[in-house]
Amino acid sequence: MYRGHELPSIYEWNLRFIRAVLCEANDLAHPYLAQQLRRFNEIFVFEPSDSNPYPTYRFLRNAHYPSGLVTNSFGWRGPEVALNKPAGRVRLAFVGASTTADAHADRFSYPEYIARWLTRWADAHHPSISFDVINAGREGILSNSIAAIVNQELVPMRPDVTVYYEGANQFWPNSFSPRPVIRMFRVAYPGLTIDQYTALGARLRNALVRGQGGAEPYKLPVSVAWPPDLDEHDPSLDDPRLPVQLPTILQDLDRIRHATAEIPGTLMLSSFMWLVYPGMVLDRQRDALVYRELNEQYWPFSYAHMRRFIDFENRVFRKYAQMHDLPFNDLAATYPRDPRLFVDSIHMTPAGVKLKAWIVFQHLVPVLERRLQEGTLPVSDPNRRSRHPAFLDNPRRVVRLEEIRRSCRE
């Protein structure tokens, strides 16, 4: 029915977000999902427990999606999880966007691999405890939705460690340029490219396709007037000029950090892995998606320009973790820059996902071991809840968007 948009048509959308988009013409800083929403006639909806327009959507609960995604009774990818944490149980939650949810058709997401290895590790070293894992990732969301997921959906589950991994959906490296650089490609949603609508765009794309082997095509440099009082290597985290939407992301991380501390739990922040660096040469057939993404979606930025802002973002994440005494999962420092492990510049092949899981597992084990030795794990669950408050008396329902539009005028 919605060719090319089948998956978003069967999300469960936040009714507050829908009303803001349709009644107030407010995309809420998320034009991609807002554009998706406007394509449908009727959709599944939910009422958020705290009147927050975030998260923008959830996956349907107990669903088998055509994409291959199978969700549990909370709408999360993976096996069922008990609402009340059993005695001796250590619970981990993973939050982020598509690089946490991972490809729906793949057999396992990276948190699911980690769950299996943690069980084996516990059997060998801590047989009195057990582990379970929640994968609350969902594609296309921003840090505001991730913070809302933690507050609404995860806090009642009392995770002991929450791993945050995201760094792409708010990334657009046009800060400190004398003239703003807009996205010429994929302005509204993936698949909408300028070459479909203009002859100039088609010529630009053809020039890219005819480029010199797999090397980066020539691009005019985009100048950067970096503020001299903003230290690029040791920035002040409260500086409102931080690029790539970092002030907004850090505010959302504050919300996540406070929410997890009250459980009590630990937030583990991560550096974000991109396959892009100066001088990178790709195989034009095998790595076609990587090549087109970097040279179309992120045109006119050079690989070096992108790398500069990616490295800065990761430095900010590291410093934030240091300032708040949080464990840091420095995946980007360890993960190999091998195109054979990637589908595009951020999403990984099944083998790449498994390697990512193994590296994150290596970072998690010392954190868990230390807390087990200190006696701060496992943490008992003091509440005996009968229902999850985010899903309380909230059955799946369908609304027509025209009904919401009419209510806007009432």
Q: CA-CA distance, 91 to 115, in Å (whole number)?
A: 10
- Flag whether pLDDT at 4 surpasses 50: yes
- Flag whether pLDDT at 393 surpasses 70: no
Q: What is the pLDDT of residue 195?
A: 38
Across all residues in the chain, what is the average pLDDT?
Answer: 88
Give, in order, the Cα–Cα distances in Å from 166 to each of 108, 190, 331, 332: 19, 19, 12, 12
8 — pLDDT class (breaks 50, 70, 90): confident
Can you read off the two tokens belonging to residue 234? 């040791």
Question: What's the mean pLDDT in 10-35?
Answer: 76
Question: What's the mean pLDDT in 93-104?
Answer: 97
Question: What's the mean pLDDT in 267-288?
Answer: 96
Q: What is the pLDDT of residue 88?
A: 94
Q: What is the pLDDT of residue 6?
A: 77
pLDDT tens, position by position, 225-256? 999 999 999 999 999 999 999 999 999 999 99
Q: What is the pLDDT of residue 3?
A: 67
Q: CA-CA distance, 241 to 229, in Å (whole number)?
A: 11
Contact 94, 163 (CB under 8 A): yes
212 — pLDDT class (breaks 50, 70, 90): low
396 — pLDDT class (breaks 50, 70, 90): confident
Percent of the chain with pLDDT over 90: 71
Question: What's the mean pLDDT in 332-349?
Answer: 97
Q: Which residues contact 58 (CB under 8 A, 6 or more apart)?
A: 11, 12, 14, 46, 75, 138
Give, in order, the Cα–Cα distances in Å from 253 to each of 146, 274, 383: 9, 21, 26
**More confident position, 84 or 410:** 84
Question: What's the mean pLDDT in 82-104?
Answer: 96
194 — pLDDT class (breaks 50, 70, 90): very low
408 — pLDDT class (breaks 50, 70, 90): confident
Q: CA-CA distance, 348 to 340, in Å (whole number)?
A: 9
Contact 263, 196 (CB under 8 A): no
Question: What's the mean pLDDT in 108-119?
Answer: 97
CATH architecture of 83-174+226-385: 3-Layer(aba) Sandwich (3.40)
- Flag whether pLDDT at 208 surpasses 60: no
Q: What is the pLDDT of residue 207?
A: 52
Enumerate the domain spans of the chain: 83-174+226-385
Q: What is the pLDDT of residue 178?
A: 80
